Amino acid sequence: MSRVVLSLGANLGDRAGTLRTALAALAADGEVASSGLYETPPWGPVEQPPYLNAVAVLDGNRDAAGWLARAHELEQAAGRTREVRWGARTLDVDVVTVQGADGRPVRSDDPELTLPHPRAHERAFVLVPWLAVDADAELPGRGRVRDLVAALDRAEVDAVVRRDER
Ligand SMILES: Nc1ncnc2c1ncn2[C@@H]1O[C@H](COP(=O)(O)OP(=O)(O)OP(=O)(O)O)[C@@H](O)[C@H]1O
Ligand SMILES: Nc1nc2c(c(=O)[nH]1)N=C(CO)CN2
């Protein structure tokens, strides 16, 4: 048994539909909490459309590699298209952190699966939705998510806006 935090993002096609389909599939996997959808400006060096992002926390019978495989499955099911690193995509699912059955965070330097995710601490589109579902969340090695959010540029945090359920 392990607990995983997944970050989901979409900025091509039916963004909301794609995320809702992925979140519904994850709910069947053992969802603990899911953030709902957030409108977010594109992060990184590539000019591209705005994203919808969400964070899901799950308990399940997978190890870290199993969660990455699940993430890739969901991306494939969404017909993921992506050529450019940090570029536009129909669905991106990142593994933010995994807590093993012993309660300890999984740590890995493997480029195929780096844990905790090496850029999560600087991404408002991950931290803000995560904090919304878990006020006590902690990113191993980086500290409390609420402190990480407080350390971000205010404008970046304010630009991550919960999208109304409709
Ligand atoms: N924690 C992780 N979660 C998801 N993928 C990871 C992780 N660590 C390493 N990877 C590897 O990164 C590869 C590229 O992933 P992807 O194309 O989604 O990167 P990206 O979304 O453009 O960038 P970023 O990783 O900064 O979000 C994947 O094939 C995967 O093996
Ligand atoms: N707002 C936002 N920006 C991004 C995202 C994302 O999910 N949301 N994913 C990226 C892929 O690395 C690059 N930039």
| 166 or 114, which is more confident | 114
Q: Ligand 1: which residue has its CA nearest to atom 23?
A: 86
Q: Is 86 in the pocket of ligand 2 (CB under 6 A)?
A: yes
Average pLDDT rounded to a whole number, residues 11-26: 95
Query: How many domains would you assign to the chain?
Result: 1
Half-sphere exposure (CA, 13 Å, Cβ side) for 16?
9
Q: Would you say 22 and 93 are in contact if contact means Cβ atoms under 8 Å apart?
A: yes
Q: Is 92 in the pocket of ligand 1 (CB under 6 A)?
A: yes
**95-133 pLDDT per residue, tens:** 999 999 999 999 999 999 999 999 999 999 999 999 999
Atom of ligand 2 nearest to the CA of 119: 12
Q: Ligand 1: which residue has its CA nearest to atom 20?
A: 86
Q: Would you say 86 and 45 are in contact if contact means Cβ atoms under 8 Å apart?
A: yes
Mean of all residue pLDDT scores within the chain: 94
Average pLDDT rounded to a whole number, residues 32-46: 94
**65-97 pLDDT per residue, tens:** 999 999 999 999 999 876 678 888 999 999 999
- Selection from 18, 60, 20, 49 nearest residue 36 by Cα: 20
Read off the CATH number of the domain in which 102 is found: 3.30.70.560
Whether the bond between 116 and the residue before it is cis, its omega within 30 degrees of 0, is: yes
Measured between its terminal Cα atoms, the distance across the chain in Å is 34
Q: Which structure tokens are listed for 85?
A: 């690193």
Task: Write down the pLDDT at residue 165.
Answer: 62
Q: Is 115 in the pocket of ligand 1 (CB under 6 A)?
A: yes
| pLDDT confidence band for 166 (50 / 70 / 90) | very low
What phi and psi values does residue 150 have, to the nearest 5 degrees? Answer: -65, -25
Instruction: Supply the range of the domain harboring residue 146.
Output: 2-162
ipTM above 0.90, yes or no: yes
